Chain A
């Protein structure tokens, strides 16, 4: 794998993480607004900006994969045909709308309706970005990538990382707010516990999706033409250990820890264990997704002529 492809590992993971986290944040707010109102505001008020900062770092990283980074602005020129142009367009627009939302949310500018609309637009742009990103890779010359598995992989990565990033952001904010002694801590704790419980069960479901999709994918590329078969061979021989490690880690990080979070949250009170489980979950899931994305690029075998 050459250095410029590492820049893409960083970019795709951070961008997907940002999109997933943003959607998770939106859904969480929408679901809990009536119950908690301003409390959810306090928990999540910095998250929007934090998520956009991560997206920004990712986009800067993506410049490192270009041979001529100063010309990056030209990348939107072929929106009509190129999924890469579309991805950059959506990513940039997502960044603009998402940052605007994040700023307004934190500074409490504008009406809550306006902010919700902006958030909704940003969310759509984020999903479009992840979708475009997937379609970039789904070209017939790259048989190992030209599969629904790429969509599954990118979206589950987005939401697993998004869930755990958002969850971690919330538990950190909760910890910070505990020192303000505004008397709302218990209420916030119960809210957060419920939220994390939902996150946990969704994480388990997402891991389930990943584990079901994988053997289908392996069979698909094993069957296909020579280049895909080479990818499979590469994957299983040179990188077999890494694949096993990736699967083990996601099972633990999202499956086991997700289930544990769900169980603990069932008590409907805040327990500090929830914080450590969430942050541990994030770390393990992040490592696993880095390994997964590394494998994605490393086992690429383009079909056709060398």
Chain B
């Protein structure tokens, strides 16, 4: 059994196609408006006038696919009043939908926007790392779905050995906050966490 399950993401491969997001919805039979994995498009740069011609100046875009980070220091577990939010020995953080009150405090607390409210059930829900599939020897649905193979998963220390230990890139928050179990290869023109050079170029309704 892994000590800490983690996801890996390669920002140079992702094309914002949302196959991962939809595969997760399908596998977990979620309503169309509830997502456990999201893909965020981030970009910046501007256009400048040169010799009477508008030219692009450092235009960049990249996408980021994230779900729950199954953090090593999960603030959601810390703040949950009912004890519905727990962290397992293998590092997976789960919300027990039978205990959850639907107070949405975890939604306020999570810097990754992972907990998703289910209005039809009155409780919170979130990425389970497909723990049932893992138990059956299969991969998480999102990893198998990715059409450009941008996602991987495994034991955190092994992923770090393979890909490095970077866990931050704009618009991700500072990794020191909750120590996400996550490794990423940053986009070649990416902005550091906290940078205000770019912005999220999706509509709010996508999340």
Q: Contact: A78 with B83, CB < 8 Å? A: yes
Known interface pairs A74-B83, A139-B108; A304-B113 also in contact (CB < 8 Å): yes
User: Which of A66, A140, A306 is the one whose CB lies under 8 Å from B103?
Assistant: A66
Interface size class of B (residues with CB under 8 A): 35 or more
| Contact flags B68-80 to A (C-beta < 8 A → 1, else 0) | 0000000101111
B153 within 8 A of A: no
In the bound assembly, the distance between CA atoms of A24 and B110 in angstroms comes to 37
Q: Contact: B79 with A82, CB < 8 Å? A: yes
| 8 A Cβ contacts from A278-306 to B | 300, 302-306
CB-nearest residue of chain B to A226: B196
Interchain Cβ contacts within 8 Å, total number? 114
Q: Which residues of B contact A140 (CB under 8 A)?
A: 75, 111, 177
Q: Contact: A74 with B99, CB < 8 Å? A: yes
Stretch of A83-91, A105-113, A165-173, A196-204 lying at the B interface: A83-91
Q: Is the interface of B mostly helix, strand, loop or mixed?
A: loop
Q: Which residues of A contact B196 (CB under 8 A)?
A: 226
Q: Which residues of A contact B173 (CB under 8 A)?
A: 141, 303-305
B54 within 8 A of A: no
Known interface pairs A66-B103, A75-B103; A225-B194 also in contact (CB < 8 Å): yes
Q: Contact: B78 with A81, CB < 8 Å? A: yes
Interface size class of A (residues with CB under 8 A): 20 to 34
Q: Contact: B109 with A68, CB < 8 Å? A: no
A46 within 8 A of B: no
| Contact flags A61-88 to B (C-beta < 8 A → 1, else 0) | 0000111110110111110011111001
Q: Contact: A305 with B171, CB < 8 Å? A: yes
Q: Contact: B101 with A141, CB < 8 Å? A: no
B40 within 8 A of A: yes
